[in-house]
Amino acid sequence: MKWPFEIETEYKGLAIRAPSNLHQECYKLIDRIGLPQSAKVLDLGSGEGAFTKRLIDKGFDVRAVEIEAGRFQADALCYHWDLNREFSLLCEEKFDLVLAIEVIEHLHDPRRFLKGCLSVLKPNGWVIITSPNVESWVSRIKFLRTGRFLWFDEVHYETLGHITPIFSWQLPKSAMSLRPILSR
C-alpha cells in the first residue's frame, strides 16, 4: 500500500523530533498567515534546527532557542536558554512570529512560558504553539482506562519529559487573562 503523503523525519539532514508531517502543517499555517519573507521569527525549542532551516530557506530572519548547546546544527543564531525560566528577560528583540513546536508539554509552567512568548512579540505578531493532542479519542480512551493521557504516561514522563498535558481551551484562555498584565 502506498501512502498518499510522505512521512517527513528530517529536513536537509536535520532530524525532526515531532509527529510526522507536523513541520509541514506548521509551515502551511505560516504560509496562510502571509508574513513577509523578511519577518523576524523566534523558534523556541528548536532541537537540531530542522524547522529553523526550513524558515531560513524561505527567507525569514530566524533566531533559535535550544537548551542543549551541542544539539542545534542549523546556520542561525541560537540562544541556549532554559524555557522553564523567564526567557523573555534575556531577549532583546521583538518578533513577528514566535514558534514553539512540541515544547510546552515539557515545561513546568506553561502559563509563564506563554507570557514570555507574548512579551517578545511585536504588535500584531503571531504565536504558534503545538502540543500532543490529549483530547483525541485515543487519548480519552487511554485516560478512561488508565488515568493517564496518551503520551503522558510514566514512560513518556521519564523518557520524553512530557510532564504537562495541554488542552485546546487552555492557551487562548491564558492568553486572554495575560493581556492586561502585558499591556501595562
Length of the chain: 184
Phi/psi class of residue 21: alpha, beta or left (left: φ > 0; alpha: ψ in -120 to 50)? left
Query: How does pLDDT run along the chain (184 residues), one tens digit per residue?
Result: 455 556 788 889 998 988 878 999 999 999 999 999 899 999 999 999 999 999 999 999 999 999 997 999 999 999 999 999 999 999 999 999 999 999 999 999 999 999 999 999 999 999 999 999 999 999 999 999 999 988 888 888 888 888 899 999 988 888 888 765 555 5
pLDDT of residue 63: 97
The SS3 of residue 147 is coil
pLDDT of residue 1: 46
Q: Which CATH superfamily is domain 10-131 in?
A: Vaccinia Virus protein VP39 (3.40.50.150)
pLDDT of residue 26: 94
* Residue 27 and residue 54 in contact, taking contact as beta carbons nearer than 8 Å: yes
Nearest-angstrom CA–CA distance, 121 and 32: 19
Q: Which residues contact 183 (CB under 8 A, 6 or more apart)?
A: none
Phi/psi class of residue 72: alpha, beta or left (left: φ > 0; alpha: ψ in -120 to 50)? beta
Nearest-angstrom CA–CA distance, 22 and 102: 9
Nearest-angstrom CA–CA distance, 20 and 53: 17
Which phi and psi angles does 49 have, rounded to 5°? 105, 20
pLDDT of residue 30: 96
**Domain segments of the chain: what residues?**
10-131
